[in-house]
Amino acid sequence: MKAEYLMRRAFYSFLAFMVSLTLTFVLLHLMPGDYLHSILPYLAEKNPDAARMFREQFGLNRSISEQYLLYVVNVVRGNWGYSFLYGLPVLAVIEEKLRWTLVILFPSTVLSILIGMAVGAYSGWRNGSKTDLSVLNFMIFVGAVPSYWWAMLLILIFGFHLNLFPLGGYASIEALDVGVRISDVLRHAALPVTALTISSVPGTYYLMRNSTLQTTGEEYVLTARSKGLREMEILRHHALKNAMLPMVTVIALELAQMIMGSVFVETIFSWPGLGLLTFEALRVRDLPLLQGIFLMDTLMVIFANIAADLSYPLIDPRVKVGENV
Amino acid sequence: MSILAINDLKVQFPTPEGLVKAVNSVDLELEEGERLGMIGETGSGKTVLGLAVVRLLSGAEVEGNIEYRGKKLLLLDEAEMRKLRGREISVIFQSPNSLNPVLKVGDQIAESIRLVGCSNRQDAKKKAVQAMEAVGMPDAELWADRYPHQFSGGMKERAMIALGLACDPRLIIADEPTKGLDANIKAQVVELIRDVTTDKSLLFITHDLSAAAQICDRIAVMYCGEIVEVGRTEEIFANPLHPYTEGLFRSLPIMGMKAIRGASPSLIDIPSGCRFHPRCDRPCENCAKAHPPLVEAESSPGHLMRCFQHDRG
Ligand SMILES: Nc1ncnc2c1ncn2[C@@H]1O[C@H](COP(=O)(O)OP(=O)(O)OP(=O)(O)O)[C@@H](O)[C@H]1O
Ligand code: SF4
Ligand SMILES: [Mg+2]
């Protein structure tokens, strides 16, 4: 049962990956004009011979289906092409940048989940109260403001006016002499992490508030009240764990949004991660690199989903791996 | 001394459709050590009455007086009320979803025990296992570490009873603890409730007349949020006076399963006069106009009923 389930799960993940792979391929070929033209404009006019060699070299002279097959085989083999911008294998570039992204993405994901869940649980439990309504309105406001706006506001206040944190980058200029120190990087990461956290708290908050709200009418909550427990004890010991169950799967999906947000935040803070890379790749039309980034984002979301799926049975005793909902 | 005295209790729910008058001027007394059965069709207000006693109704307007051992419950603040719940007055709910699905059953019982001052986790767990043994659960130690979904319906109900008894309360309110169990298991649970409540006061809410007969000293019959008849169990069974009570008995399988005609009215739009008159077999003219009071039957003292034709012989 368990093995069969994991197989099925792996198969679906693979399917999702293939779909996004195909999508990138199709999208690129739907772009107006020649692929060669979009990466090296006017090469064909100026030097037809070079263009022909180029086409042969990169397989652009073959049929679409052949190109597709070649593309899939290469991607699966780990050959994601070369970045024009860096002149390096796409995968190598991405790998390096991914680490930097994780430095801000991981803490802000954890923080936004913790904050969103705690505030959401309280708000949902006290639903309709003054606190709930003011928190709800506040969150609606926070959620309506885009992440880059928060990023700029933070830079302005804490970087520029108060001069508490650096304005951007990942290390101070002294790093050239003394090397990159962790404390220095953390100081640089503080504002980007905060910006990303602020912009993703509302999402988790809404979900958790709703989920907690739904437990308030449950019969086991009535039982807990009849035992003489305090409201906050009932929330902590009884409602919270139940309210978290539906969250697990949704949080994995939220990651996609966080990745989106990180593009803006990293660009504004010049944080050398995947987000900034996306921006640069877009700017100079580094198509292989963009393709690679897109695939990497897909992979991250797929893995987050698998992780959510596997952790679900750990928190819900009714579900064993393989007997999933 | 009465352990519970309910006077002129009214419970209403404001809803978008109108005011639901779920309990209407109920007077009821429960002696210390007495077991009272509360019967009536679905929607007659039994659960609402039971929950009103422990003040666990949300969105309700509650008026009147509820006295528990001299304490006016409706006047207590929330903290005082909380101290009574579980340790003085406990509720046994009907089981399927009344236990928390993500917590071990033993822990849920231990939680109650810890509330009454047993601060040691291990001791509380041990006592929880004992409580489960006391309701006849085999291998209680093993089952204490399992989750509700692993329990059968009957086992869950036993666990609920163990939970209700865990802090040794004086008054127990059991709300349809046998609902949905098959006959065999039901008989066992009824027997269990009878055995574990011999030295307790019990408000036993049920649809099951025979269960009420086996457990209870007295029976109260509810209709449209009112008590229409109350008396000693033998009296009620041998000599039901109210046409509604008679109707309930006639609808029993062994009595021919003749259902009372019509449906119980909405508690938003309660019939005038005698609330039962649209469904009554032999209403008189007065029945639709005047509201009969709850009076003692001349023929049998202590047997109260709410019908104009109560002494028709
Ligand atoms: N929170 C609520 N809001 C509005 N109406 C309610 C609420 N709780 C109960 N009622 C109404 O009060 C009436 C009495 O309900 P109650 O649950 O006490 O009936 P019952 O006698 O216990 O029925 P059953 O045998 O089906 O359990 C019903 O008409 C019900 O719809
Ligand atoms: S008062 Fe009249 S209508 Fe009501 S139960 Fe008695 S006889 Fe029937
Ligand atoms: Mg009920």
Domains and CATH numbers, chain B: 2-88+169-305 (3.40.50.300)
Higher pLDDT pick, A82 / A230: A230
Nearest to A241 among B97, B102, B149 (CB): B102
**In contact, A57 and A50? CB cutoff 8 Å:** no
**In contact, A243 and A212? CB cutoff 8 Å:** yes
**Predicted pLDDT at B146:** 93
Both structure tokens of B80: 């005082």
Shortest CA distance to A243 belongs to which of A117, A127, A92, A136? A117
Q: Let me know how many helices (H) and strands (E) chain A has, helices first.
A: 15, 0
- Position A186 confidence tier, pLDDT thresholds 50, 70, 90: confident
Both structure tokens of A167: 């304005």
pLDDT above 70: residue A324: no
C-beta of B243 in contact with ligand 2 (< 6 A) = yes
May I ask the CATH architecture of the domain A93-283?
A: Orthogonal Bundle (1.10)
**In contact, A22 and A295? CB cutoff 8 Å:** no
Rg of chain A, C-alpha, whole Å: 24
Q: What is the largest CA-CA distance in chain B?
A: 67
Whether A228 sits inside 8 A of B86 (CB atoms) is yes
Distance CA(A90)–CA(A286), nearest Å, equals 10
Instruction: Give the position, in ligand 2's atom list, of the atom nearest the Cα of B242.
Output: 5
pLDDT above 70: residue A245: yes
- How many cross-chain Cβ pairs, A to B, lie less than 8 Å apart? 69
Question: Across the strands, what pairs with A219?
Answer: none
Please state, in angstroms and as integers, the Cα–Cα distance from residue B89 to each residue in B40, B164, B166, B222, following that order: 23, 9, 11, 22
Distance CA(B4)–CA(B70), nearest Å, equals 8
The list of chain B residues with pLDDT below 70 reads: 95, 310-313
**Predicted pLDDT at A35:** 67
pLDDT above 90: residue A212: yes
Most confidently modeled range among A39-43, A86-90, A306-310, B9-13: B9-13
**In contact, A109 and A255? CB cutoff 8 Å:** yes
Rg of chain B, C-alpha, whole Å: 20
Domain residue extents for chain A: 93-283
pLDDT in tens, B206-265: 988 999 999 999 999 999 999 999 999 999 999 899 999 999 998 888 777 788 888 888
Name the closest ligand to CA B91. 3
Higher pLDDT pick, A324 / B224: B224
**Predicted pLDDT at B313:** 44
Distance CA(A45)–CA(A36), nearest Å, equals 11
**Phi–psi pair at B130, nearest 5 degrees:** -60, -40
**C-alpha dihedral (B43, B49, B52, B54), degrees to nearest 10:** -120
Which amino acid, A187? R
- Position A31 confidence tier, pLDDT thresholds 50, 70, 90: low
**Predicted pLDDT at B206:** 93
Distance CA(A53)–CA(A62), nearest Å, equals 13
Beta-carbon contacts of A295 under 8 Å, excluding residues fewer than 6 positions away, are A17, A20, A21, A24, A75, A80
DSSP E strand boundaries for B162-232: 171-175, 201-205, 218-223, 226-232
Per the prediction, chain A carries an average pLDDT of 86
Distance CA(A276)–CA(A148), nearest Å, equals 13
The A-side interface with B (CB below 8 A) comprises 218-220, 222-230, 237-238, 241-242, 245, 315-318
ipTM for the predicted complex: 0.92
Instruction: Give the position, in ligand 2's atom list, of the atom nearest the Cα of B277.
Output: 3
Chain B residue with minimal CA distance to A216? B58
Distance CA(B250)–CA(B238), nearest Å, equals 13
pLDDT in tens, A248-278: 888 887 887 888 888 899 999 989 999 999 9
- Position A38 confidence tier, pLDDT thresholds 50, 70, 90: low
